[in-house]
A and B are shown apart, each in its own frame.
Chain A
Amino acid sequence: MTVLDLRNVSIDFPTSKGVVHAVTDVSLSVGKGRRVGFIGESGSGKTTTALSAMRMLASPGFVAGGEILLNSLEKPNLLDLSDDDMRQVRLSRISYIPQGAMNSLNPVMRIAHQIWDGIVAHEGALPQGDLQSRSDAALAGVGLDPEVVGDLYPHELSGGMKQRVCIAIGVCLNPDLIIADEPTSALDVITQRHVMQTLRDVQSEIGAGLILIGHDMGLMAQSVDEIAVLKKGQLVEFGPVRQIIERPEHPYTKELISSVPLVGGKSFLEPAGEETATGFRSENGEPLLELRQVSKHYGAVTALHPMNFTLDGEVPKIISIVGQSGSGKSTLGSLMLGFNAPSTGEVRFKGRDINRQSGAEALSFRKEVQAVFQDPYACFNPFYRVNHALKYPFERFGLSEGPDHTQTAMVEACRAVGLAPETVLGRYPHQLSGGQRQRLIVARALMLSPKLLIADEPVSMVDASLRATILKNIHDLKDRHGISILYITHDLATAFHVSDYVMVLYKGHIVEAGPPKDVIGDPEHAYTQLLIASIPWPDLDRDWGSSKDARQGLEALDRLDGHETIMRGNIPGFELVQG
């Protein structure tokens, strides 16, 4: 029996430049208790298709054709319902778990109240005691302590807890269908596994259908029964998960599967070319970057425990720093960039403490150490054309020999990161895709011919299919331009492929360090092992563990005290010293 049928659904967005066909002729069904994954890159229409079943399309979008049938209704066609009848359908029959777990809850209302108002909107005013027991049951169902969490405000919860509250809200009225829109995209792998398995458990318990929207083929493989692949608003492939993963027919599906970087899998990097550029030549025997007893406290909280390492930079290296959110990896990044002063110790660049430099030294440090950040949307000033971001530092650092030279340099930098200069230069940031913007940020850094690049989660906000390309660009910087790179990430698979050395950070300690094939390929520390086990693989025969495993894994972590670093071997040019 099917819960939801989409029949030849088309969705149009009339704009001043004509009608945009966001979704064209999509037909599929979601069975009772079945999980269906909608996969595709951003703009493929996967969220739009799902939201049409909620009748919550963003203005001015509308369903231009077809039928959306919710079979539990007397008159199943949702498009025929009045606005108030549709409002009644939301949450009680079809519930929605939003993408941005961070901001999905009303910041000025207690958690329990946000469950109650949903119940009251559908069942009328209930006695306080009934509401209390309903919200307690809902919170307990997703593994949260109702006594504590119900009285808290959203800002007092972690991201994973907020997302589980959203799941609790979504299932509190036992809907026929749950639509989960990338419910774990903002979470790290360990939390992701926990949240995803909670969702799977409550969904099978109430027997609802589930539509899971996402772009990660690995997560899909581990979570759903059927997969619908969407591209440019069209359903290009739909079938059981095993068939899609193991015998994909459409080239786009194949591309999606192959773009997932795997630990130990085939490398997405091309073999290193002949042109290995020379790195940094030290003039006084001092290494490029050195951390001496560097630590950072925020009040009583220690974000980073004392750390010592030396990167000589002579042969360029990529050093990965991996860990989940809150592990201190971004703190480490900002210390190395000199944005934050360490609480103890020194960050030394070419033998000078970067927090005690003269003006001229600071300027040259800024030129030689470049950064790529996580959010390619927030990195550009929206009022300037992108040329400004490329041109301004280049001219200010005195590298330009005139307008023509600047132009040539910009064109070359764009080509170096695989962008066609004529399609990106002279445009405004909002006219470019996230992937294009992130590559421009890499191009901008490249124009200044730095010696060191600090890349903080450079690909976590771009589509999976583009991640490989951008990482390839960054990897090329090492080989072709002799730049040493510190790659900060939570993604072990990419760290496995691009880096020469990996440091695993947990609660401000380095718990395991060494060449990636040892640390990630064959982890020894319990934390590293949990990280690896939490990665969803696009391989159905590989077990992702149960929700019990996920919870136990998290609890086991709390008991760990990782003061000793497990050293897994050294590489020339980089030396980590036990803190």
Chain B
Amino acid sequence: MGRIPLSYLTNRVFTLFLTVFVAATLIWIIPRLSPIDPIDVMLGRMAAGGGTIENSEAILQQLRESFGLDQPLIVQYFLYIVNSFTLDFGLSTASFPTPVSSMIGYALPWTLGLMFISLIITFVIGNLLGALMVWEHTPRLWKVAIPAAMVFTSIPPILSGLLLMYVFSTQLRWLPLSGPYGLNVEPGWTFAFINSVLYHGFLPAMSIVVVTFGFWALGMRGLMITVQGEDYTTLAKAKGLKPRYILYRYMIRNAILPQITAFALKIGLLVAGQVLVERIFAYPGMGKLLYDAILTQDYPVIQGVSFVIILMTAIAVFLVDLIYPLIDPRIRHGG
């Protein structure tokens, strides 16, 4: 442990930037391999809306200029990279002329809030249940119930969402059906608003938790079985330690380490959201944004969302690299 060597830090920061740069380049190249011209798509959409268009050539030219498509490819690429790193992803083609960054700026907090909370709940519940599946002092009823609960893992989130909606909204009327907050509250940092957000977020979060906790539980179960067979667990018992103390300080403490790496990778992915969950609950998050952008071939938005996903993953991995020696003393920051 101790202080992080500067050489290690610069090395990791360099890797972080390199990863994001390479990924950003790929994001830029792939849509350009597609034969579809986004301007044609826009024009088609306009045509469908407003009949004939005068000066269509001039408009097309104007549009190409505003998207920078009249520049040589290399200039386009260079501008794209510079803009991306300043989080400027240009204008949306589908909701022209809204800047992509403001669309992401609106959607990101919803997704982060929903997904981060459900990820943490899932991580805690999943790992705890996985650990209890192995622990020798788990009540017998739990040992039967936990594997049975794994059935939920095999249900697609969209179905579990519908099921939960049916039970809790339609039948019991305990929770609202959809939307991020109630129509009767003003967005802002008020108690009523936050309360409404939590109230509305409960069901989508639940539908994610019930289908994903099995991933953590099964992973944890395997790790716990290994730890249970370790000599230090045997010695802990021989030391007359209390069973619960052994469970937390000896077994889970060691078994959780690989799960933390997996957690970091999930943080990046969760920005993409559970597309279908956001969809059925009409939740205005990144998943829904991406879904709509794909449907309307809105390339700037697709690129922007992909970039944010990669940035989040790279940052999460970077942070885990930095904190890992704090949680596992065997790992040291190499020079």
Q: Which residues of A contact B (CB under 8 A)?
A: 54, 56, 59, 87-92, 95-96, 98-100, 102-109, 117-118, 121-122, 153, 155, 166, 169
**Nearest 5 Cβ contacts at the A-B interface:** A90-B240, A96-B238, A100-B231, A118-B239, A91-B240
Name the segment of B174-182, B249-257, B314-322 touching the other chain: B249-257
Q: A residues within 8 A CB of B327?
A: 108
Are A89 and B240 in contact, with the CB atoms below 8 A?
Answer: yes
Q: Is B329 part of the contact surface with A, judged by Cβ < 8 Å?
A: yes
Bitwise interface map of B from 221 to 257 toward A, beta carbon under 8 Å scored 1, else 0: 0000000001110111111111101000110011000
Q: Which of B136, B236, B237, B243 contacts A106 (CB 8 A)?
A: B236
Please state if B330 and A155 are interface contacts (CB–CB under 8 Å): yes
Residues of A within 8 A of B330 (CB): 107-108, 153, 155
**Residue B37 lies at the interface, judged by CB distance under 8 Å to chain A:** no
Q: Is the CB of B242 within 8 A of A106?
A: no
Given A87-B240, A95-B238, do A117 and B232 touch, yes or no (CB 8 Å)? no
Question: Is B70 an interface residue when CB atoms closer than 8 A count as contact?
Answer: no
Q: Are B245 and A98 in contact (CB under 8 A)?
A: no
| A98–B254 touching, CB < 8 Å | no
Query: Closest chain A residue to B237 by CB distance?
Result: A56
Q: Is residue B328 within 8 Å, beta carbon to beta carbon, of the partner chain?
A: yes
Cβ of B232 and Cβ of A88 under 8 Å apart? no
Count of chain B residues with a beta carbon within 8 Å of a chain A beta carbon: 23
A539 to B243, CA, bound (A): 44
Q: Which residues of A contact B238 (CB under 8 A)?
A: 54, 56, 90-91, 95-96, 98
User: Given A98-B235, A99-B231: A108 and B241 within 8 A (CB)?
Assistant: no
Indicate if the CB atoms of B240 and A92 lie closer than 8 Å. yes
> In angstroms, how far is the closest chain B Cβ from the Cβ of A8?
25
Q: Chain B contact residues: over half helix, strand or loop, or mixed?
A: helix
Q: Which residue of B lies closest to A173 (CB)?
A: B240
Jot down 7 A-B pairs with beta carbons below 8 A, ordered by A.
A56-B234, A90-B240, A100-B231, A107-B329, A108-B328, A122-B240, A169-B235
CA distance A103 to B136 in the complex (A): 21
What's the Cα separation between A122 and B245 when bound, in Å?
13
Selected contact of A117 from candidates B234, B249, B253, B328, CB within 8 Å: B249
Which chain A residues border B253 with CB–CB below 8 Å? 106, 108
CA distance A56 to B245 in the complex (A): 17
Inter-chain contact B231/A98, CB cutoff 8 Å: yes
Whether B254 contacts A107 by the Cβ 8 Å rule is: yes
Known: A117-B245, A153-B330, A155-B329. A107 touches B232 (CB 8 A): yes
Q: B239 contacts A117, CB within 8 Å? A: yes
| Bound-state Cα–Cα, A117 to B245, Å | 9
Interface digits, B295-335 against A, CB 8 Å rule (1 contact, 0 not)?
Answer: 00000000000000000000000000000000111100000
A90 touches B239 (CB 8 A): yes
A87 to B235, CA, bound (A): 12
Compute how far the CA of A108 lies from the CA of B254 in the bound complex, rounded to whole angstroms. 7
Closest residue of chain A to B243 (Cβ to Cβ) is A87
Contact A121 B240 (CB under 8 A): yes
Complex: A91 Cα to B246 Cα, angstroms:
15
- The listed residue with most A CB atoms (<10 A of its CB), out of B238, B241, B250, B329, is B238
**Most-contacted residue by chain A among B232, B235, B242, B245 (CB, 10 A):** B235
Contact present for B250 and A106 (CB under 8 Å): yes
Closest residue of chain A to B254 (Cβ to Cβ) is: A108
**Given A87-B240, A107-B254; 13 other pairs, CB 8 A cutoff:** A56-B238, A59-B136, A87-B242, A90-B237, A96-B238, A99-B231, A103-B230, A106-B253, A107-B232, A107-B328, A108-B253, A117-B241, A118-B239
Q: Which residue of B lies closest to A91 (CB)?
A: B240
In the complex, the answer to whether B231 meets A121 with C-beta atoms within 8 Å is no
Which residue of the partner chain B has the closest CB to A179? B238
Residues in B neighbouring A56, C-beta threshold 8 A:
234, 237-238
- Chain A residue with minimal CB distance to B136? A59
Complex Cα–Cα for A118 and B254 (A): 18
Which residues in B have their C-beta under 8 angstroms from that of A96? Answer: 235, 238
Cα(A388)–Cα(B245), bound, Å: 46
What residues on A are CB-neighbors of B254 within 8 Å?
106-108
| A102, A108, A121, A169: the one within 8 Å of B245 (CB) | A121
**Given A153-B330, A155-B329, A106 and B241 contact (CB-CB distance below 8 Å):** no
Chain B contacts of A100 at CB under 8 A? 231
CA distance A56 to B253 in the complex (A): 22
Contact of B239 among A59, A91, A99, A153 (CB under 8 A): A91
Q: Which residues of B contact A99 (CB under 8 A)?
A: 231
Closest to A55 in B: B237
Q: Which residues of B contact A169 (CB under 8 A)?
A: 235, 239
CB distance from A51 to the nearest CB of B (A): 9
